Structure 1
Amino acid sequence: MSPTTSAPVTAPSHFSDVKGWFWPVDQLLFDWFLTRQDCAPRGTGDLLELGAYLGKSAIFIGAYQRPGEEFTVCDLFDSPAPDDPNSAEMGRSYATLTRRAFEANYLAFHERLPTVVQAPTSVIASRLTPGSCRFIHVDASHLYEHVRGDIEAAKELSAPDAIVAFDDFRAEHCPGVAAAVWGAVATTGLKLICITGTKAYGTWGDPEPARAELLEWLTSRTDLWHGVEEVAGAPLIRISGKKAQAPTPPQPLRPAAKDPEPTEPADPAPAPRNLLSRAFGRGR
């Protein structure tokens, strides 16, 4: 992968300026799950994201960090990948990814950075306290072995009733993610609460309270379609967000200056008489 750290970094003026794949329906669900935890008796805990790209979802998650909590982001950024398949994936998908760009984007919306672990996600379980995280976003490698390891780490780090979101679990170019997530449902006790077109949301705790409250909330949303299907012996909420209205996004710390009001153009100066005459063919 060619080095990119010397490229100029421009801070975004709006959340929409940050590149990434974080659709309105998933912004709504991140907001719903994280806001719900604010009201839960056991809602304390840290936040974790595995795989950050340029920081779009991290910026969003960081808005829900509370005093005394830690937010950790783990990503390779510019570091070498740990194996050849992962290196090839990084070269195809993230050739322009740099830690400097992530930090510039994040600091445009937050006063301080999260704790950044620049390393393969395989190290994260050794860096954090078991059972300490209330919300985990898994969005790193798409390769089966790596995703399976990320899921094992997420289980170890999850607090009781923590919510874990898995990205790209049904994309046609990421079959390894689907295999790892559904394998975890079959073998680790992971219970999926709902799915969208891009993400699956689950817990290793009791899914019923969140599932019931989510269904009640969904009935009030005219911009979201939902249905319930029995999958692997448990109800699974399917959500279509093609018409989803995103929540209010994080606001930049320093809003971009407004363009100055346009002024009336001054009347053009009259052309010199001899030039005007020549224009009409009467000059000597």
Structure 2
Amino acid sequence: MVTAQTIDKNPGELKDVPGWFPPLDQLLFTWFLERQETGGFRGSLVELGAYMGKSAILLGQHRQDGEEFTVCDLFGGEAPDGANQAETAKSYSSLTRQAFERNYLAFHDALPTVLEAPTSVIPKEVAPDSCRFVHIDASHLYEHVHDDIGAARDLLLPGGIVVLDDFRSEHTPGVSVATWEAVLNRGLHPICLSTQKLYGTWDDPEPVQEELLAMLRDRTDIGLSVQDAAGHRLVRTRAQKGMQPPSFPHSRYYMAPEAPKAPTPTPAPTPAPTRAPAARRPRSRARRIGVDLLPPIVTRAIRRALAPGA
């Protein structure tokens, strides 16, 4: 296990942590969690599948006093079956628990409860009816996602929120099947959809959905559409170009960029001194009169005699 003192090359901001957690989902996580906290809703937080810790870091920011936060991931360890092992080797070969802990400790003083194990252990480690928010982003295989959804239903308190990642990605059909099966046959009610995630509840979705719609309609950086399908109201959201994530505290290793220094003014060149013309010595009055009265031939002779060097 690593500690904050042994960390190097740490992320300075949440955007520096590797992972797939776009600004829209950062906003939606924050909105759902803050809504719970403002309403006095308390309960544990759970994340199944953590990768390098990007979403876990945000979840940890919303852990209230007395609440538990549990993260479960293989972290490159032994998978429960061959298919899961192949998936892990292909997509998460660089994932290690040390990397997750290093990133998390850059933003928080203490780690959550970390389970380095398959997500099938979560019902034994977290009490039923104890959670307010569960994020599922572990295996993409149908059997595992099916069981993770069942575990989330048992863990959540009334009014709790479950978030399912990759529910409509091209490379994760198993997640799509398990997600819509839960909606159609297992009582899960969608609250909203982002590009990557489905946010849902096993309770009446209308109160939270109405509050969410009011917030979304006031924003110009989120596209919104509402559809009905199989008796469910589907609130679809998408980020508009240039959308920024909500503000988030910097890590303890953040280095603010230096303000650009004002250029040093170049001193104006000192002009070269100019030599004043030599003053002509004025001729005496007697000399001027003598020169004017004498015959020219005498005047020229006198000038030659008086010339310098003569």
Shift of 1:241: 1.1
Shift of 1:210: 0.5
Q: Please say if 1:210 is aligned against 2:204.
A: no
Worse-matched range after superposition: 67-76 or 225-234: 225-234
Amino acid in structure 1 at the alignment position of 2:216: L
Partner of 2:164: 166
TM-score (norm 1): 0.86
The one-character-per-residue Cα deviations of 1:15-59 (angstroms, maximum 9, x if unpaired) are 111000000110110011001001224x11011100000000000
Give ranges in structure 2 of 5+ residues lacking alignment: 1-6, 265-310
Partner of 2:247: 248
Q: Please say if 1:15 is aligned against 2:23.
A: no
In the alignment of these two chains, the number of paired residues is 257
Shift of 1:237: 0.3
Distance change (3 Å), C-alpha of 1:258 and 1:154: same
Q: Find 1:156's aligned residue among 147, 150, 154.
A: 154
Q: Please say if 1:221 is aligned against 2:219.
A: yes
Shift of 1:104: 0.4
Shift of 1:256: 2.5
- In the alignment, the residues of structure 2 paired with residue 233 and residue 70 of structure 1 have an alpha-carbon distance, to the nearest angstrom, of 35
- In the alignment, the residues of structure 2 paired with residue 132 and residue 62 of structure 1 have an alpha-carbon distance, to the nearest angstrom, of 17
- In the alignment, the residues of structure 1 paired with residue 163 and residue 87 of structure 2 have an alpha-carbon distance, to the nearest angstrom, of 21
Shift of 1:158: 0.6
SS in 2 for 1:146: helix
- Deviating above 4 A after TM superposition, structure 1's stretches of 4 or more consecutive aligned residues are 257-265
- In the alignment, the residues of structure 2 paired with residue 66 and residue 89 of structure 1 have an alpha-carbon distance, to the nearest angstrom, of 35
- In the alignment, the residues of structure 1 paired with residue 215 and residue 239 of structure 2 have an alpha-carbon distance, to the nearest angstrom, of 14
Contact kept, 8 Å, 2:76 with 2:92, in 1: the verdict is no
The one-character-per-residue Cα deviations of 1:110-155 (angstroms, maximum 9, x if unpaired) are 0100000110001101111101110111000000001001001000
Shift of 1:249: 2.4
Q: Find 1:130's aligned residue among 128, 131, 147.
A: 128
Amino acid in structure 1 at the alignment position of 2:149: I
Partner of 1:39: 38
- In the alignment, the residues of structure 1 paired with residue 237 and residue 152 of structure 2 have an alpha-carbon distance, to the nearest angstrom, of 24
Contact kept, 8 Å, 1:52 with 1:140, in 2: the verdict is yes
Q: Find 1:96's aligned residue among 94, 110, 114.
A: 94
Contact kept, 8 Å, 2:168 with 2:175, in 1: the verdict is yes
Contact kept, 8 Å, 2:12 with 2:252, in 1: the verdict is no
Q: Percent identity?
A: 53
Distance change (3 Å), C-alpha of 1:151 and 1:255: same
Amino acid in structure 1 at the alignment position of 2:152: A
Contact kept, 8 Å, 1:224 with 1:242, in 2: the verdict is yes
Distance change (3 Å), C-alpha of 1:103 and 1:160: same
- In the alignment, the residues of structure 1 paired with residue 66 and residue 14 of structure 2 have an alpha-carbon distance, to the nearest angstrom, of 26
Distance change (3 Å), C-alpha of 1:249 and 1:126: same
Partner of 2:111: 113
Partner of 1:237: 235
- In the alignment, the residues of structure 2 paired with residue 186 and residue 231 of structure 1 have an alpha-carbon distance, to the nearest angstrom, of 10
Amino acid in structure 1 at the alignment position of 2:245: A
Contact kept, 8 Å, 1:133 with 1:158, in 2: the verdict is yes
Amino acid in structure 1 at the alignment position of 2:187: G
Partner of 1:83: 81
- In the alignment, the residues of structure 1 paired with residue 8 and residue 92 of structure 2 have an alpha-carbon distance, to the nearest angstrom, of 16
Partner of 2:272: none
Give ranges in structure 1 of 5+ residues lacking alignment: 1-7, 266-284
- Return the index of the structure with the highest Cα Rg: 2
Partner of 1:279: none
Shift of 1:246: 1.0
- In the alignment, the residues of structure 2 paired with residue 96 and residue 242 of structure 1 have an alpha-carbon distance, to the nearest angstrom, of 32
Contact kept, 8 Å, 2:21 with 2:55, in 1: the verdict is yes
- In the alignment, the residues of structure 2 paired with residue 105 and residue 189 of structure 1 have an alpha-carbon distance, to the nearest angstrom, of 36
Contact kept, 8 Å, 2:25 with 2:194, in 1: the verdict is yes
Contact kept, 8 Å, 2:191 with 2:234, in 1: the verdict is yes
